[in-house]
Amino acid sequence: MPELPEVEVTRRGIEPHVRGRTIAAVTVREPRLRWRVPAAVLALAGREVRAVKRRGKYLLLDCGDGHLIVHLGMSGSLRLVAPDAVPGKHDHVDLCFDRQILRLRDPRRFGALLWTDGPPEAHPLLRHLGVEPLTRALDGPRLHALTRASGMQIKPFLMDGRRVVGVGNIYASESLFLAGIAPRKQARRLSAQNCARLAAAIKLTLRAAIRAGGSSLRDFVGSDGVHGCFQRRAWVYDRAGQACRKCGNAIRRIVQGQRATYYCTACQR
């Protein structure tokens, strides 16, 4: 599933090619994505893309009088292809520009293409999203304040997109290891110092993944058409039973909220 780093890599990959360009035509070969592609998307021809923004895992193509909201779902990818590139079976939507096509491929069709002419942050899908982790909005004091009223353990808390967006399962385990915090610790018991370390660890982990081109993802294809994902050398994720890279203890696997968590019982308290 594309995580925040893959979406950000996609944003950075496509923005220089579509910003300031006019959508010449929209081709929808299969409108049945997670929600049916609305008629407003078909009417985008003639609009200029002013910027490509991101909120959580949503890409927002700013078209001046509204935004095209794109979500890659479970298996979606956006690529820039030549105007004569023959669409494959799962290439459902094309935004055609003068010299290139921005093509949405989505084999499982859990992705979404929607239009909003209001402020995107007020859209029902985006309204409840939590703090954006790669901005200054997330820091120690903010994380400390957010955790105070929570009855959750810190690992599921981090993965709750209504609190902080885009910290997926891999990144939650890795960040907690870097911050030295046990995944089952009650969120509200974290000290201010814990929260400062954790906020920094989240940023570090996500930025490293973005630099690496996003973490491993079978269906992700970089916007240049090259498979762009590289599994980073993980500290703990998917390393059950293996030696901790810091202390040598065996990495432990537990399940929290139906998701696997990996951690070191010696390094994380």
* Residue 203 among the catalytic residues: no
Among 19, 34, 203, 246, binds Zn ion (CB under 5 A): 246
Among 64, 243, 266, 269, contact with Zn ion (rule: CB under 5 A): 266
Tell me if residue 185 is catalytic. Answer: no
Q: Number of residues in contact with Zn ion, rule: CB under 5 A?
A: 7
- Contacts of 248 by beta carbon, 8 Å cutoff, 6+ apart: none
Q: How far is the CB of 3 from Zn ion (least distance, A)?
A: 25
Q: Which of 11, 55, 57, 232 is catalytic?
A: 57
Specify whether 57 is catalytic. yes
181 binds Zn ion (CB under 5 A): no
For residue 154, count other CB atoms closer than 10 A to its CB: 28
Q: Which is nearer to Zn ion, 145 or 266 (CB)?
A: 266
Q: Report if residue 243 touches Zn ion, rule: CB under 5 A.
A: no
Residue 3 designated active-site: yes
* Residue 264 in the binding site for Zn ion (CB under 5 A): yes
Based on the shown chain and the rule CB under 5 A, indicate whether residue 267 belongs to the binding site for Zn ion.
yes
Binding site for Zn ion (CB under 5 A): 244, 246-247, 249, 264, 266-267
